[in-house]
Amino acid sequence: MISVLQRADQLVGLRHTFSRFFPEKVDLDFSVAIPTYNGAKRLANVLEALCWQLNSDRLSWEIIVVDNNSTDDTAAVVRRYQRIWSQQTPLRYAFEAKQGAAYARQRAIHIAASPLIGFLDDDTLPGMTWLISAYRFAQKYPQAGVIASRIRGKFETNPPKNFERIAALLALTERGSQALMYQPKNKVIPPSAGIVVRRQAWLDNVPEELVLTGRTSKSMLTGEDTESILHIQQAGWEIWYNPQMRLQHQIPSSRLTREYLNKLCRGIGLSRYRTRMLSTSPWRRPVMILLYMANDVRKIIRHCIRHRQDVFYDDVAACELTLYTASLISPFFMAQRSVRQRLLKCDYDMVS
């Protein structure tokens, strides 16, 4: 007589087989989405790490690589892995022509075949229990709309002095060994690298077109991850940090240069008007704009007094000053950007 466990294993096996050939028609337990732009040289490490996920054999899950308009061999790398990939876990390829991480994530959300979607960047390597830890945490906390990972850096070269002051800007997240909930009143949101989202919470609350769309080859404007998560949080879903979901962020030396960090801080700062106002009631926004700007001025003055000449010679101090200054001018930048986009839309409508 077939035992209950054997019958369960058979059903899981049938679902694995069916999902390989008809992934869009099967409800899986979990989807891992990897948005990537020109990630041909990085993807292999992420896929290899996913091969070694422990205790995942009882889950029915898939991997979706979303090619965000790459110009390298990203598609060829995925095809090569598909030929040798395990039949139990579908490895899918999707192409998103619109440049920007927000568009790539939206594409993954729409085609995923599961209620839980874990996002990995192409330079983040999941620990061997990342998948099962994410799934179990989601089952334990059904009100968690977003679950964030514990992310540590693996540096190609030593980071600059005092790097820990800006480490969070490179998606490094260390909030201790205990699970905790991000309280809305604290206005702190985790980075998108390594987050797990409930698909329905995203579909119900995140707009198809975000104001912030993410970094591209031509722009370092970021904040699309914060914007998406804020929409989910404001709808009443909880945002959690799960220390058992461990990730390693591969940080090359090119991302530790003053030039790169300065551009990153500028992009984050310029996006802050949008993320600040999104978590503020419309009737309070005029007053809050002035309060935020006054606070940014205070930070700039205090920073210059505290660090003096270091704001010119110290990499981290200079980047912090760029962040505060960009935050101050963010309302004007976003207003100008909005006008420019409307003019472009009018021109497009007239031509079409």
Please compute the mean of the pLDDT values over residues 114-125 and round it to a whole number: 97
Domains and CATH numbers, the chain: 4-252 (3.90.550.10), 264-351 (no CATH)
Span of 151-160, 206-215, 284-293, 328-337 with lowest mean pLDDT? 206-215
pLDDT at position 349 over 70: no
Range name among 200-209, 215-224, 241-250, 320-329 with the lowest pLDDT average: 215-224
- Tens of pLDDT, residue by residue over 63-80, are 999 999 999 999 999 999
> How much is the mean pLDDT over the chain?
89
pLDDT of residue 222: 82
DSSP readout, 258-305?
HHHHHHHHHHHHHTHHHHHHHTS-GGGHHHHHHHHHHHHHHHHHHHHH
CB 159 within 8 A of CB 206: no
Rg, C-alpha atoms of the chain: 21
The model carries a pTM of 0.87
Quick check: 41 pLDDT over 90? yes
CB atoms closer than 10 angstroms to residue 343? 10
Tokens of 278: 């999104």
Burial 292-302 (b: 16+ CB within 10 A, else e): bbeebeebbee
Q: Is the pLDDT of residue 133 over 90?
A: yes
For residues 46 and 221, give the distance between their C-alpha atoms in angstroms, rounded to a whole number. 25
End-to-end CA distance of the chain: 68
Q: Return the structure tokens found at 197.
A: 């989202």
At 218, the pLDDT band (50, 70, 90 cuts) reads: low
Residues 294-316 have pLDDT tens digits of 999 999 999 999 999 999 999 99
